[in-house]
Copies of this chain bind each other. A is one copy, B any other.
Amino acid sequence: MDSLEDSDVADRLEKFKVAAKSSGVKLTHQRLEIFREIASSREHPDAETLLRALKPRMATVSLDTIYRTLWMLKGLGLVSTLGPRRDSLRFDANVDPHHHFVCVRCGRVSDFENRDLDSLPIPAQMPGVGTVLATRVEVTGVCEGCAGEQA
**Which A residues lie at the B interface, using CB under 8 A?**
1, 12, 35, 38-39, 41-48, 50, 70, 73-74, 77-95, 100-101, 104, 108-112, 114, 116-117, 120-123, 126-147
Q: Is the interface of A mostly helix, strand, loop or mixed?
A: mixed
Instruction: Tell me, rounded to whole Å, the shortest Cβ–Cβ distance linking A74 to chain B.
Output: 8
Chain B's closest residue to A110 (CB) is B128
Residue pair A82, B86 in contact (C-beta under 8 Å): no
Report chain B residues within 8 Å CB of A145: 128
The residue that A90 contacts in the complex, of B39, B82, B84, B127, with Cβ under 8 A, is B82
If A46-B91, A129-B101 touch, whether A137 touches B137 (CB-CB below 8 Å) is yes
